[in-house]
Amino acid sequence: MSESWEEEFKRKMVSPEEAVKVVKSGDRVSFTYGREPRALGLALAARLGELKDVKIFIRTPGMDFGWYDAGWEESFQIEISYVLPITREMMSERRCDFVIGGLLGMTPRHPAIGEADVLLTEVSEPDEHGFCSFGASTWGKRKAVECAKVVIAEVNKNLIRTFGENYVHVSEIDYFVEHISGGKTPGATDLLGRKTWEPGDVERRVAEFVSTLIADGDTLQMGVGSTSEWIAILGAFNHRADLGWHSETTPRGIIKLVREGVITGGRKNIHRGKAVAVAVGGGDKEDMDFVNNHPMFELYDADYVLNPSVIGANDQVTCINSAISVDLTGQIAAESVGPTLVSGPGGQLAFAIGSQLSKGGRFITTLPSTAKGGAISRIVPQFDQGTIVTIPRTLADIVVTEFGIARLYGKTQRERASELTAIAHPDFRGELYQEAKKLFWP
């Protein structure tokens, strides 16, 4: 008589300490993108000194297991693909390495995912058919499970379920452990684990300008960032109808717009009537309860959601993303200040391409005009040496600061320089104008 899934689940349930015994010196251990399984992370960190040369890949570090401190390198060598506050000191001291992703995000083709000796993830309790949910995000987790040699899952009964491809069967997991609570404080951080703050005049003015660029029936994408994440909350979409949603992340305020009938997906060409994303979050408990098992919400892996041909299949795809700085030719930097990494690329490039493939599509970049309390301009004549270009000038479209809207698509170098200078902070416009004359005029 064959074993039932219930019997298999019970047999595979072990303690975190027992589960991580499968990790050997020299192994590559990968955490799936999203919430780190806390019990497994702590159990693995407890093997400090016992293990040697274990490579640990954590795409967006959010919990401190100790290995970001100096002195852990002999046991654990850390690789990340997003520089967040918890790893900035480690990155500046070059005690970890940065994994460069591809156009479609981290897929199993990437060694950090596809060559994992041990994969650590978090799942919900099984349903009546033996299927677990990955909760509020997928991020290639299903494919990572298929590729890893050993898969260990921490069972968190609080994870939501969604439609789409957000599931894994008990039979696909090698070991299960019980979840222990702790780590991040709900509501105290944004989607990337950074402390949140209240919007100010800059964020409000940016949202007002963006609202003038939105049309009924647009299919929206929004990225994380200091200006873009506030746009929905500040009411930029409230006056529109039949908006759609196809995005990597789901920032604060979006679920509320679905609840209120502003986002319906009623005019989308594909996934009509559905809100499609890789991750859904950024809301309160009421929002997440609304998403749980709601047929309108569908989560898919990044290599599908970030595929430019899929993005461009809908009309009027309107993408809104934050940046660190923009140069006068329209190059967009969203990852570094000079050679110093402070963030990651996310899905910006995929959506920049996808929006151009979309009939009536737009790619909007938002940023404050200045940084460091107004001491420096974020619109610059040329980038500092070593600055990483996230979006090339050939894909630049619309740039918004608190001083206005610059329309770059199809414009010459001189026209772009003039457009961008006009939305820079007034304190820097004269300097930018003089630099532009040197660069682009005889």
Helices (H), 245-326: 254-259, 285-291, 302-305, 308-311
Per the DSSP assignment, residues forming a β-bridge with 336 are: 341
> Dihedral of CA 255/258/262/263: which sign?
positive
Tokens in use for 56? 């640990």
Residue 69 CA: distances (Å) to CA of 34, 35, 433: 21, 20, 45
437's CB contacts (< 8 A; 6+ apart) are none
Residue identified by tokens 């100096």 is 70
How deeply is 61 buried, as exposed, middle or buried, from its count of CB atoms within 10 A (0-12, 13-18, 19+)? buried
292's CB contacts (< 8 A; 6+ apart) are 160, 161, 162
Angstrom distance (rounded) from CA 218 to CA 95: 44
Q: Which long-range contacts (CB under 8 A, 24 or more apart) does 256-264 make?
A: 256/232, 256/283, 256/287, 257/232, 258/290, 258/296, 258/297, 259/287, 259/290, 262/237, 262/238, 263/220, 263/237
Tokens in use for 285? 């408990």
Tokens in use for 315? 């009309």
SS3 259: helix
Least Cα distance to 319 among 347, 279, 283 occurs for 347
For the CA atoms of 271, 274, 280, 286, what is the dihedral angle to 10 degrees?
A: -170
> Active site residue: 8, 248, 298, 335, which one?
248
140's CB contacts (< 8 A; 6+ apart) are 32, 33, 105, 106, 107, 108, 113, 301, 302, 303
The reply to whether 248 belongs to the active site is: yes
Q: Which residues are catalytic?
A: 248
